[in-house]
Structure 1
Amino acid sequence: MKLKDFQLDAVKSLFESMDEPNRDIILKSPTGSGKTIILTYFMHQYIQSYSKTVFVWLTPGKGNLEEQSKEKMDKYIHASQTKLLSDVMTSGFEENDSVFINWEKLTKKGNNALKDSERTNFLEHIQHALNDGLRFVIIVDESHQNNTVKADELIQYFHTNKIIRCSATPKGIKNAVVIEIPEEEVIAAGLIKKVLVINENFPQTVETENQTSFLLERAYAKQRELRAEFAKIGKDINPLMIVQIPDKSQLLQDEVERWFESQGINYENQLLAVWLDNKHENLEYITNPNAKQVALIIKQAVATGWDCPRAQILVKLRENMDETFEIQTIGRIRRMPEAKHYENMLLDSCYLYTLDGKFTAGVKMSLGKNALDAYTVFLKNEYKGIALTGERRTMVISTRNPKRALLAVAKYFENEYGTGSNKFENKTRLQAKGFVFNEEIVNQTYSGETSTLDFKSTDMNAIAVTEKLNTHKHGRDYHNRIGKIGLEIGMEYSYMNTIIRKLFDANFSYSRKILALSPREVYSFVLNNDVRLKNAVREAMAAEIAQLQLDLPAVSEFVFHIPQSEIFTYDSSAKTQVEMKRNVYQNYLSSAEPRSSAERKFEKYCEHCNSVAWWYKNGDKGNEYLSIVYRDNSGKQKLFYPDYILGVGDEIWIIETKGGFDRNGNSQDIDIFSPKKFDVLKAYLDKNHLNGGFVRNDNKSDELCICTNIYSDDINGNDWILLSKLLP
């Protein structure tokens, strides 16, 4: 199991939060962010590091979520000690257990999963565990559905001092440590789709005799289009349509089934699946990328916890649902089938078809710029020949590549400590640099006198406390230290442990081995030198990045053409829907979204400027758009996507818009990299004999101003001139 950077950061934050005095920890993670992977990895690491721990994972009652979560942990974490409620009723709680329980089986009135005598027995199992010195850590999954009095009563029985509450839509818990995974990070990592397209290519006014057929026809056409596009790029992926119908609506269910039958999609040929309370058909293997099922009919049960990454289209025929639950349903179609983007907006988007205005309003409110009305626009013929030189990064650096990290740490020890092939000399050199070599575990305390509690350790006598190595007891400590060294650089425990073993353990072969210690000696070496090792590994990673930046060329160039077609997203509720004739695409509207206020004003300016023959709004990520390479403050390469490309006579201009200046001349630009981006844009323009600059609005005069030569935050200086003087 390889975690993404943001997932490792979340694990690190969970570890840190466990040391805080707050009882409640809220993990707010978007659907599709790999919450189960994050938590199971954290649970495994924590149990390995801290004895007498039992995790109890409470899930809501729908969809057998506790069994799904247990299965995922068994899959991700080999040799994990997982249990269900039935296992606890048989054998009780034991050290290192990760127990998955459907909390409604214990709390819901009329639920016969546990009789009164069994419920008492369950509480006795908790008490036995507490008497044995076990410590419970509670995880409340989908916490927005578990925030009830009865659920809280159940949690109290465990006498826990740590509760981790997880949800994409958490409800407020006072005095909680909040760990929030930004949706942008999950999208950037390629785990979820870039945008939700709502009612693509719908007319302004829908007139139809049958709403169900109207929606299903468009959704099925999109399914076939996506299937063909996947095939075009060599992927055997069959996008799944999810059709959600209201509860207690047998007539609508029959209508949906008849429509699919008319298309040759039915239960008999296994192209149609159903997941309802009273009907389950063709669900086997449905989550496989190339599974044959084209569509799945659902009501409510599938909305929580179900994971089918090939699901990409939702037809929503349901009304009057709780908005929180609706967003959970949308999450079912947001995952990427291979946990990566294809840099193809058709495939990197998911699609909603519905005539439920209340639902679309709720989705837009929740997802904001990631949920918009849309249709396809096509490039006008006269602009198909436009070509520019774009830049891409050639440094595809992963400091968490285990082989590269191993080599980097070995080189760091050679450069910093002078280590070589002679293991005896290496030990002497490391001792001289402060590394401790002792078969026993050495800790330090202090003795002396002080009249206040505010004293410095340097004023006291340092005392070394040695303890004989116990592989059972200190094995946990070793695991904990290795895990923390790894988390410091975003490296998983197993990889970090292998690096340490290859460098220092005699039983592991490696050409640049530093020491040849016995396994027991490795334990002592790591525990006695964990701070030095952590610093060395961190410094090694920094040195590796610097070296790679020196060794590799900065950029590679490519030929950029304006994309032939685009999914145009817009705000259908805007009062004005004027077509902007000078845009390179047909039917580009003034209500285009998402747009900043500066972008909206600039687009209006271009549309009415006599000097501008045509203009194009560039995308903000993806290989299909014009990009320029720059470095952030740490030297890391990033891609800069200028906002606009203009045709001005025979010249091409490239423009970046930024936040303006208030009436007092203060900058409203929140991009800290603006000066760097300006410099790299100017260098690019000079190199390619183009024109352009940065455009910002002066609120005092309500005029757009442009900077083309030297970047400045002083709107009153000579570096900013009226845009109308350059482009009248």
Structure 2
Amino acid sequence: MYTLLEFQERAVNQLQQHVITAIENGRQQTPILLKAPTGAGKTVMAAALIERVVDQAHLHPGLDSNMAFIWFAPNTLHIQSYVSLSKFYEDTRRLNCLDLNSLSSNPVLNPGDLLFVNWASLSSEKNIWRKENESNTNLETLVENTKANSTKIILIIDEAHLGAFTGTQATKVRNLIGADVEILITATPHHMPDLNVVVQRNEVIKQQLIKKSVRLNIGLDPEQQNSDNVHIHLLRKAFEKKNELQRLYDLEVGEGVVNPLILIQLPSDSTKITEEDEKIRDIIEGLLNIEYNISTNNGKLAIWLSGEKNTDGLEDLNGFQDVLIFKQAIAQGWDCPRAAILLNYRSIGNEDFGIQTVGRILRMPHRRHYNHDDLNHGYVYTDIETSRIRLVPADSDYIERLKAERKEDKKWVYDTLKTAQVINDRETSATLTSAFQTIFFTVMEEKYGIKQLVDIDFFTSRTAEENAAQKKINTDFMRARGWEFDIDTHQIVIPTDIQIDEYQVDAIINLNKTNTKAFAITSEQFRQLFDRFCFDSITRLIKEKSWRQMRTTLINFAEYYLESFEFDARKIFLFSQNKVLILDDIKIALERFDVWQRAKGNENRRIEYADWEIPKERYYSDKHNRFEVESHALEPFYEQTSASKPEKLFKDFLIANETKINYWYKNGDSGREHFAVDYVDVNGRKRLFYVDFIVKMKSGKIGLFDTKSLNSEVDASNKHNALRKWMSDNGVDFFGGILIPVETAGTWNFYFSEFDLPENKFIENTTGFTNLNLSNF
């Protein structure tokens, strides 16, 4: 079973609530959107969603698991999804994966069936599955038979931007199915329904599943073209980058472990090979064969074109192929994490296709970022003018085209600083784990004075009589604290014959034996009632992922301490006076588990330090403004369009005081390529923060400043103290801290404290702070 990452877990929980809401509302074809970037694990999230909807439907009043699913996908993506989800459900077997060939005549979908369908097989009325026939093997019969059994149908549309909502046939098919819910999955939706979940790209980057950015035409210089055809020049540049990445991969993960792949995209939008395509392909294949010994004959060149495909082993990290030539075929669904460089000869006619294609080079081979930052970016080489590349607005900052270089002609000394890195930097999962059982048992032993029974086997000296005696001691101690164990039947007590005054809406009715009655329920109802109790008992954590562990813990407790097994355990815990007691015990155990989990997570996160200096070159996205600043360490200076007011004010302050300093540098906000200081946040977790400004004085001293507004961040004082400790640990040539801009009579001054501040508190004023005067340093 795949363990979801934090952002995936959050998305699945939100989607699940949307699905439940949509089913309860009873409006057919309610659309629910999952918008997530390439590499976010959309298929995994959808798979987890489907399983949870089925598995936990009974936890929601009025719902049950009598539902089936149809998964639509374009091209051959449905086959990939079928294979992936079949493996996903291999252990639990909660879903039964099918394709159209699995269905017999007069077909029907049973509860838990998940049917994978190629959209093209239903997109025309001429297709066999759209026609009436003697065997009734068609979509209409499938839907009628399924709904005749009161089975709900949930439709999943993968890559939903590709035709699922355009054209009369797409509408006819969706209307014919009349699904209770339509779940739309895409990175580039055409519209946003009311029920939607959006996974931001930066969340996926933070989890290191995908690369940080795409760099466009890196190192491309017309002076190096040497009269080559532009197509050949681009190819040579792509191979230079491939060789560079190969060297870095060999150093990082071992020689030959990853063979970075070049993707070459032919120019025309047509699926057929045009004359223009053939001309460029001949040029490319000729150069590959002559200069790089790469051809289809020796297996180093892969082809993925209409009617021509040789891609065996292409997705392997150390795949033999160095180059793949393709057209549109791999725009959706193809997963090859070693794909690193895209050589794009086509005019990107629509923005969606452009993003989908670039997405093929975004995945990280080992699902983590590497120490050498050049491996954490994808590379695109293209002869298309920048102004003609149209990107989806949400992804427009993904392409890094702006380059700044360190000023080496100034003879400035770029000092080496110790930057902090968090190792094993994973968020603590808000999920109940098996460790909870030990904590819960301890709580119960401390509160009731009980002891665990011992398994009786050949190697155990204790007898059954001794266990029976211990069981009696346990039950006696628990009875003394209010527990009841003589429970003959499983019943629910519900109000009867109650008259409500409709005008007295806030009235409280005190129920007693005269207006309540006990009703017997079936074993299955009782199981569902106990599951619901376990689900509702979860606090602080994700209920959907934690209730099963709670159920296991309670049932094991009953067996290990009371010698009561699952059927009787349910009766014990659901008996009214016992429920009150056990919920209080659970609450205490959950609080202890929370403390334990936070401490465990902090133990696993360690800080290591590495040498850092201002980079020789740095790339920026289009969401930056260019400035010529004499004193900035890199030229030109790029300022983020969303830079905060304190950042902009301090930048102006530094420019106005250029004569007093050697240089200054605006640091990045995240990533190992930027300078970081470790601190402990208000929740006791080890974290990093990235100092905004590094200022080198003429005296040789270095100022480190992080700009903030008053009352803007509760962790500001913790960061300040951590920075002061870092400066103290690393010598006497540093000064700085959290920097607060204050306006007085139209003039901005900047204040920082030369002392530690009270931790875990907002910085509310600058009393006792020092007015920054660069002449003093």
TM-score by length of 2: 0.78
- 1:74 corresponds in structure 2 to 86
Tell me if 1:32 matches 2:85: no
- 1:127 corresponds in structure 2 to 144
Helix, strand or coil at the partner of 2:337: coil
Helix, strand or coil at the partner of 1:656: strand
Q: Is the 8 A contact 1:378 1:566 kept in 2?
A: yes
Which ranges in structure 1 are unaligned for 5 or more consecutive residues?
660-666
Within 2, Cα distance between the matches of 1:203 and 1:698?
46
Amino acid at match of 1:181: V
Output aligned runs, 1:399-438, within 5 Å. 399=429, 400=431, 402=433, 404-414=435-445, 420-421=451-452, 424=471
Within 2, Cα distance between the matches of 1:383 and 1:296?
45
Within 1, Cα distance between the matches of 2:482 and 2:49?
32
Within 2, Cα distance between the matches of 1:35 and 1:93?
24
How many Å apart are 1:256 and its aligned residue? Answer: 2.5
Within 2, Cα distance between the matches of 1:256 and 1:476?
64
Within 2, Cα distance between the matches of 1:326 and 1:218?
21
How many Å apart are 1:653 and its aligned residue? Answer: 0.9
How many Å apart are 1:684 and its aligned residue? Answer: 4.4
Picking from 103, 118, 126, the partner of 2:119 is 103
User: 1:546-575, CA deviations, whole angstroms, 9 ceiling, x for partnerless residues?
Assistant: 6558x9699746354316655433659967
Q: Is the 8 A contact 1:106 1:119 kept in 2?
A: no
Amino acid at match of 1:271: K
Output aligned runs, 1:515-594, within 5 Å. 516-521=563-568, 535=587, 538-545=590-597, 547-548=599-600, 556=607, 558=609, 560-562=611-613, 565-569=616-620, 571=622, 578=628, 580=630, 582-583=632-633, 588-591=635-638
Q: 1:393 to 1:304 in 2, by over 3 A?
A: closer
User: 1:72-100, CA deviations, whole angstroms, 9 ceiling, x for partnerless residues?
Assistant: 10112213400112323554311210111
Output aligned runs, 1:82-161, within 5 Å. 82-90=97-105, 91-108=107-124, 111=127, 115-117=131-133, 121-145=138-162, 146-148=164-166, 149-161=168-180
- 1:6 corresponds in structure 2 to 7
Within 2, Cα distance between the matches of 1:415 and 1:534?
13
Please say which of residues 95-104 and 41-50 is displaced more in the overlay.
41-50
Within 1, Cα distance between the matches of 2:187 and 2:330?
16
Within 1, Cα distance between the matches of 2:717 and 2:676?
17
Please say which of residues 208-217 and 103-112 is displaced more in the overlay.
103-112
Q: 1:470 to 1:558 in 2, by over 3 A?
A: same
- 1:54 corresponds in structure 2 to 67
Helix, strand or coil at the partner of 2:664: strand
Tell me if 1:681 matches 2:697: no
Amino acid at match of 1:18: V
Amino acid at match of 1:40: A
Tell me if 1:42 matches 2:49: yes
Amino acid at match of 2:670: K
Q: Is the 8 A contact 1:375 1:567 kept in 2?
A: yes
Tell me if 1:272 matches 2:322: no
Within 1, Cα distance between the matches of 2:339 and 2:362?
8
How many Å apart are 1:642 and its aligned residue? Answer: 0.9
Q: Is the 8 A contact 1:139 1:165 kept in 2?
A: yes
Within 2, Cα distance between the matches of 1:17 and 1:276?
40
Helix, strand or coil at the partner of 1:331: helix
Helix, strand or coil at the partner of 1:639: strand
How many Å apart are 1:71 and its aligned residue? Answer: 0.8
User: 1:600-624, CA deviations, whole angstroms, 9 ceiling, x for partnerless residues?
Assistant: 6645654661222233443433345
- 1:693 corresponds in structure 2 to 737
- 2:184 corresponds in structure 1 to 165
Picking from 180, 202, 210, the partner of 2:220 is 202
Q: 1:703 to 1:397 in 2, by over 3 A?
A: same
- 1:446 corresponds in structure 2 to 495
Amino acid at match of 2:735: N
Q: 1:38 to 1:434 in 2, by over 3 A?
A: farther
Within 2, Cα distance between the matches of 1:110 and 1:205?
57
Output aligned runs, 1:247-646, within 5 Å. 247=270, 248=274, 249-262=277-290, 263-281=292-310, 283-357=311-385, 361-363=389-391, 365-373=393-401, 377=405, 383=413, 386-388=416-418, 390=420, 392=422, 398-399=428-429, 400=431, 402=433, 404-414=435-445, 420-421=451-452, 424=471, 442-447=491-496, 448-452=498-502, 454-455=505-506, 458-461=509-512, 463=516, 465-470=518-523, 489-490=541-542, 497=548, 500-501=551-552, 504-505=555-556, 516-521=563-568, 535=587, 538-545=590-597, 547-548=599-600, 556=607, 558=609, 560-562=611-613, 565-569=616-620, 571=622, 578=628, 580=630, 582-583=632-633, 588-591=635-638, 596=643, 599=647, 602-603=650-651, 606=654, 609-623=658-672, 625-646=674-695
Within 2, Cα distance between the matches of 1:315 and 1:526?
64
User: 1:210-240, CA deviations, whole angstroms, 9 ceiling, x for partnerless residues?
Assistant: 2212222222221222122111022411222
Helix, strand or coil at the partner of 2:122: helix
Larger radius of gyration: 2
How many Å apart are 1:439 and its aligned residue? Answer: 7.8
Helix, strand or coil at the partner of 2:638: coil
- 2:261 corresponds in structure 1 to 240
Q: Is the 8 A contact 1:57 1:99 kept in 2?
A: yes
Output aligned runs, 1:12-27, within 5 Å. 12-21=13-22, 23-27=30-34
Within 1, Cα distance between the matches of 2:746 and 2:547?
57
Helix, strand or coil at the partner of 1:339: coil
Please say which of residues 100-109 and 596-605 is displaced more in the overlay.
596-605
User: 1:43-80, CA deviations, whole angstroms, 9 ceiling, x for partnerless residues?
Assistant: 12222334453343443432x11111111101122134
Tell me if 1:655 matches 2:662: no
How many Å apart are 1:159 and its aligned residue? Answer: 3.3
Picking from 685, 707, 721, the partner of 2:751 is 707
Q: Is the 8 A contact 2:449 2:477 kept in 1?
A: yes
Helix, strand or coil at the partner of 1:302: coil
Query: What do you get for the CA RMSD once the two structures are aligned?
Result: 4.1
Helix, strand or coil at the partner of 2:231: helix
How many Å apart are 1:540 and its aligned residue? Answer: 3.8
Q: 1:115 to 1:391 in 2, by over 3 A?
A: closer
How many Å apart are 1:708 and its aligned residue? Answer: 0.5
Amino acid at match of 2:156: I
User: 1:171-190, CA deviations, whole angstroms, 9 ceiling, x for partnerless residues?
Assistant: 2255x212122222211111
How many Å apart are 1:323 and its aligned residue? Answer: 0.7
Within 1, Cα distance between the matches of 2:264 and 2:532?
47
Within 2, Cα distance between the matches of 1:415 and 1:100?
53
Amino acid at match of 1:445: I
User: 1:668-700, CA deviations, whole angstroms, 9 ceiling, x for partnerless residues?
Assistant: x96564454345434544665531134466789
Helix, strand or coil at the partner of 2:637: coil
Please say which of residues 253-262 and 182-191 is displaced more in the overlay.
253-262
Q: Is the 8 A contact 1:563 1:624 kept in 2?
A: no
Amino acid at match of 2:72: T
Q: 1:392 to 1:34 in 2, by over 3 A?
A: closer
Within 1, Cα distance between the matches of 2:660 and 2:237?
41
User: 1:635-671, CA deviations, whole angstroms, 9 ceiling, x for partnerless residues?
Assistant: 4332211122222223121011347xxxxxxx7x965
Within 2, Cα distance between the matches of 1:287 and 1:140?
25
Q: Is the 8 A contact 2:124 2:130 kept in 1?
A: no
Within 2, Cα distance between the matches of 1:620 and 1:714?
24
Helix, strand or coil at the partner of 1:68: helix
How many Å apart are 1:124 and its aligned residue? Answer: 1.1
Q: 1:275 to 1:653 in 2, by over 3 A?
A: same
Q: 1:386 to 1:122 in 2, by over 3 A?
A: closer
How many Å apart are 1:452 and its aligned residue? Answer: 1.4
How many Å apart are 1:402 and its aligned residue? Answer: 3.8
Within 2, Cα distance between the matches of 1:61 and 1:111?
15
Helix, strand or coil at the partner of 1:693: strand
How many Å apart are 1:42 and its aligned residue? Answer: 1.7
Q: 1:92 to 1:396 in 2, by over 3 A?
A: closer
How many Å apart are 1:250 and its aligned residue? Answer: 2.3
